[in-house]
Structure 1
Amino acid sequence: MSTSSSTNVIPGASSSSSSSVDVETLRRNRILSSKLYFDVPLTMAPLIYSSSYDIAFFGIEKLHPFDSSKWGRICQFLIKNGVLERSRIVEPLEASNDDLLVVHTESYLSSLKSSYKVAIIIEVPPVALLPNCLVQQKVLYPFRKQVGGTILAAKLAKEWGWAINVGGGFHHCCADKGGGFCVYADISLCIIFAFTRLNISRVMIIDLDAHQGNGHEMDFGNDSRVYILDMYNPDIYPFDFKARTYIDQSVQVQSGTPTQVYLEQLDKALEVAGNNFNPELVLYNAGTDILDGDSLGQLKVSPDGVASRDEKVFRFAKEKNIPLVMLTSGGYMKSSAKVIADSLTNLSIKGLIDLAAPPLGT
């Protein structure tokens, strides 16, 4: 756990005044006036998704290995399998500029008006040639909807005990820099909103995407309210050695790590985390790029192993009675969507989540 001051040093919410008090007041006012938190009827499920999540424009999205239709296909599998009713899905609102300024700097958000800048962040060079209005509509709007979903998920998790944003998990983005297909820092935004709106003071990030979560690490490196457990492959992107110094509990899993070894290391990691920190909210970044065959993750975890991993994290939170937010994050194989849907089905069967419709009259 960090031993530094609990003062949040995220450089977002900039204002004309140099006073940190004024900056914090402005940030707080932005959070309190945000429309991203809204009441959800108990007839819904704490599963958040919008068809706007899915990115498609002239086939250019296929130039990046990420499956940008993954989010919609996860829901399709759940509905087809009778696990979820479409009418029970919660649709989030789009994060506004004021919402994003809670964490991001004005200069960073302004830089996204350059298609070239966005192309670098999402690693799709032809996007640089497109009019920015099109980039805003086809790329950044879907991401802003997912940010809204991640932020809302914390509220629903506190009310239901758990919540899943079928998108989100953009863990390579911090307050003033994006990268690795991550344009907005939804994890950092979710946590800062929760501090103010939910009266939460201690958050644990369990980042099990194959890649290091350097974005939230840079944002919360000096904040003792946030404990970061990051289990990642050190041999792949982003090689952010400065951010690694901010990880409270670093678990490095080398390329080629098989399922059983991975799960054994996770068991040990969760035990240590539980002994070191007592969170009021768990934010679980559940990337499926740990799957065997994922060329970017380079690990060898089976689909059943992913389901076991998710089950372990949900049990960890449930046994401690801690609300949990799950984000789907990275995963670069077409099979990821079904693997995620199968894992959520398993969580439902095991009673760790409940996606079934409530009885009539409730």
Structure 2
Amino acid sequence: MSTSSPSNAISGASSSPSSEDVETIRKNRVLSSKLYFDISDTMVPLIYSSSYDIAFFGLEKLHPFDSSKWGRICQFLIKDGILQQSQIVEPLEASNDDLLVVIKSIFRTLCQKLNLLPKRKTYFGNLNSSSNVSKIIEVPPIALLPHWLVRQKVLYPFRKQRGWAINVGGGFHHCCADKGGGFCVYADISLCITFAFMRLDISRVMIIDLDAHQGNGHEMDFGKDRRVYTLDMYNPDIYPFDFKARAYIDQSVKVKSATSTNVYLKKLDKALEVAGICFKPELIVYNAGTDILDGDPLGELKVSPDGVASRDEKVFRFAKEKNIPLVMLTSGGYMKSSAKVIADSLTNLSNKGLIDLATPPLGTFLCVHM
């Protein structure tokens, strides 16, 4: 752990560390992290790494998630002349210290380092088991493979996802601070928000989660944190059926299976109007899953590709009109067509003047990545 020495953090080995001590260590981790860095003015705030695209000897095809869609999104944008390869921002890998920032057992971890409590497996410790990883990403054969291979082919790609502005990957909203699931290994949304609080001096964040599935991970992490407002528009008839997390949603908008484009967009208009009245954020985290598409085998909604573009445009316009910075993550989507739909939506945002992927921005940006 790259923290201050125990003697600086805790006075006296016989006394237990206070919550203030633990919070200081968390803040020191954030401030010393390499995840935020200045972007050259020749770049645009779009984040992608080739390591996002998980290739695991074909085993990745056993899960319905299209783990190669992220690279194809960029390929479409480059082919259409919307983006240049040289303008894409390459993210860094999150270290264990970075990830521990959002782990609820950090207090226990600190005590264990000081031999004040008996050791017990934490969530990260459980990721050292191929069997546990296989359950989280929902690909059972992974359990039979050596962990060094699982770490290289599965865990490493997940640890490089997170971004400011638009990240063509990320949005692992089923993972909370100490539990993964639903193809979500690391709580990247929670990490982003925690870093924003401590590094950017932001005090109010709105999560707009428009993936077809309920974002139970971040809801568990911030359910009792009044600095975070959650608008979750999801299909209640599908995974994860997390009723405990649902109780923490500030604005829960349920869209039943077979909901059409027009009905979906009308519900979104009303939801954004309510959100704008109820909460004044300094940052918006937008989880833009494309599993709302008609034909998606898991989302079970019937939104058209043009409907997805309209949805994204509405959210970006909402943020722009209120002058609120926005982080977009692409999240779920279980059809091969998702990559082209996302690329077309980003092109639409650029054409409407809501983003500019063709012209490098003035100045520099601070970026955070997984």
The TM-score, its normalising length taken from structure 1, stands at: 0.90
Aligned length in residues = 334
Residues 216-239 of structure 1 deviation map (CA, whole Å, 9 limit, x = unaligned): 000001000000000000000000
Say whether 1:325 aligns with 2:314: no
Letter in 2 for 1:336: S
* Partner residue, 1:110: 125
By how many angstroms is 1:201 displaced?
Answer: 0.2
Residues 160-218 of structure 1 deviation map (CA, whole Å, 9 limit, x = unaligned): xxx10110000000011000000000000000000011110000000000000000000
Say whether 1:71 aligns with 2:70: yes
Letter in 1 for 2:141: P
- 2:140 pairs, out of 125, 134, 137, with 125
Contact residue 292 and residue 302 of structure 1 kept, 8 A: yes
**d(CA) in 2 for partners of 1:311 and 1:186?**
23
Residues 243-281 of structure 1 deviation map (CA, whole Å, 9 limit, x = unaligned): 000000000000000000000000000000000000000
Letter in 2 for 1:66: F
Say whether 1:187 aligns with 2:186: no
**d(CA) in 1 for partners of 2:361 and 2:225?**
43
Compute the RMSD of aligned alpha carbons.
1.5
Map 1:287-326 → 2, pairs under 5 A: 287-326=289-328
Contact residue 136 and residue 183 of structure 2 kept, 8 A: yes
Letter in 2 for 1:108: Y
Contact residue 85 and residue 357 of structure 1 kept, 8 A: no
By how many angstroms is 1:57 displaced?
Answer: 1.3
Residues 308-354 of structure 1 deviation map (CA, whole Å, 9 limit, x = unaligned): 00000000000000000000000000000000000000000000000
Residues 70-115 of structure 1 deviation map (CA, whole Å, 9 limit, x = unaligned): 1000000000000000000000100000000001246101110000
Contact residue 53 and residue 70 of structure 2 kept, 8 A: yes
By how many angstroms is 1:43 displaced?
Answer: 1.3
Deviates more, 1:312-321 or 1:25-34: 25-34
Contact residue 212 and residue 233 of structure 2 kept, 8 A: yes
Instruction: Show structure 1 runs of 4+ deviating over 4 A.
Output: 15-18
Look up the SS of the partner of 1:174 in the other structure: coil
Letter in 1 for 2:139: V
By how many angstroms is 1:357 displaced?
Answer: 3.2
* Partner residue, 1:5: none
* Partner residue, 1:160: none
**d(CA) in 2 for partners of 1:73 and 1:140?**
21
Letter in 1 for 2:126: S
Letter in 1 for 2:150: V
Structure-2 change in CA distance of 1:235 and 1:359 (3 Å): closer
The TM-score, its normalising length taken from structure 2, stands at: 0.88
By how many angstroms is 1:358 displaced?
Answer: 4.1
Contact residue 66 and residue 330 of structure 1 kept, 8 A: yes
Look up the SS of the partner of 1:102 in the other structure: helix
* Partner residue, 1:86: 85
Map 1:150-165 → 2, pairs under 5 A: 150=163, 153=164, 163-165=165-167
Map 1:133-212 → 2, pairs under 5 A: 133-146=148-161, 149-150=162-163, 153=164, 163-212=165-214
Structure-2 change in CA distance of 1:329 and 1:358 (3 Å): closer
**d(CA) in 2 for partners of 1:196 and 1:65?**
36
Structure 1: 5+ residue stretches without partners: 1-14, 154-162
* Partner residue, 1:95: 94
Look up the SS of the partner of 1:270 in the other structure: helix
By how many angstroms is 1:32 displaced?
Answer: 0.7
Structure-2 change in CA distance of 1:74 and 1:23 (3 Å): same
* Partner residue, 2:277: 275
